[in-house]
Structure 1
């Protein structure tokens, strides 16, 4: 199982990117918002990934945030929702908007997504309503909390005299391995990364 990739984006298509990891290129399917973000950066990137193996294809799906990966896995667990429909949904509306649509029985918002008709929208609402009450709110809160922790950790390292780019690279490298629940934990892990260089 490939759970995470860190490397340099070398090529991009309309729905995918190729990430070079130590000389090996991985083709990864990404959402449209992720594709736009990746196209604007020349710095190393990290994607949290989900591998789908079928008789005729092996496909890797990648997400800049763990919360997006978790939502993708929730979606493909719903009857009739495959990886491509899940990617369409995450490309069109964010996690928070999706959670709100489920909790408000908002079929209209859901049927705007290619591949989701009235029946699929009803099924999503029925199967995910309880889960969104618990998991959806946690995911949204967690993403905001993680983003703030990463930002604060980078700022702290810069104030200690490290360059902004090396600080950001160290924090981004440390976050998936050590978690990003606390700023102090991230700073400690990032400092260890900086000492390795």
Structure 2
């Protein structure tokens, strides 16, 4: 495992970098958030790296700081998010801003990122919340106690997606959720349970 590189920048062709480490040139892919922080070609640089071995390639990803690499490693654990999409996400948003989106249930900002559709954004919110619960931002960690309440629209969308996954048609799911949605509902799970109960009663 290659965990860090310290060398001289030979070339920058975003998202690819060429780093000379004692005469050996490493090809590294980096998000734009890292590339913006790099010095000029010919200057020394230190990158924290993540090494990926595939059947057809060996890929090295580089990051300006450990927090960004940590977020990258967490992103690629999400179902349907590979290194390429994770790199694209980090190129379009700062690490703390992404974590803030997860904390606030902000799908609107996430779907603005290249390659992130509504379903991917919803999956990121669901799967990343627990994985980022210890990530400190603005002096507070993500947790059920101090995270902002997910908006009503996001809860409805998440509940509808769950019903569709259970086999209901999109129109049925939307109608069922709309029928039971009210201000007292504080989670998508509550919406799902009430909708299912309402449909079978």
Query: Given the two structures, how large is their TM-score scaled by the length of structure 2?
Result: 0.65
d(CA) in 1 for partners of 2:84 and 2:6?
A: 23
- Note the 1:148-159 alignment, pairs <5 A: none
In our comparison, the structure showing a higher alpha carbon Rg is: 2
Contact 2:50 2:62 in 1 (8 A): yes
Q: Which runs of 5+ in 1 are unaligned?
A: 142-197
Contact 1:5 1:21 in 2 (8 A): yes
- Note the 1:176-195 alignment, pairs <5 A: none
d(CA) in 2 for partners of 1:139 and 1:76?
A: 26
d(CA) in 2 for partners of 1:139 and 1:88?
A: 27
2:57 is the counterpart of 1:43: no
Give the superposed CA RMSD: 2.1
d(CA) in 2 for partners of 1:13 and 1:3?
A: 22
How many residues of Structure 1 are paired with residues of Structure 2 in the alignment?
141
Q: Which runs of 5+ in 2 are unaligned?
A: 142-201
2:16 is the counterpart of 1:19: no
Match of 1:59 in 2: 59
**What is the Cα deviation at residue 98 of structure 1?**
0.6
More helix, by proportion: 1
Match of 1:114 in 2: 114
Match of 1:7 in 2: 7
Q: Write out the 4+ residue segments of structure 1 that deviate beyond 2 Å after TM superposition.
A: 39-43, 130-133, 135-141
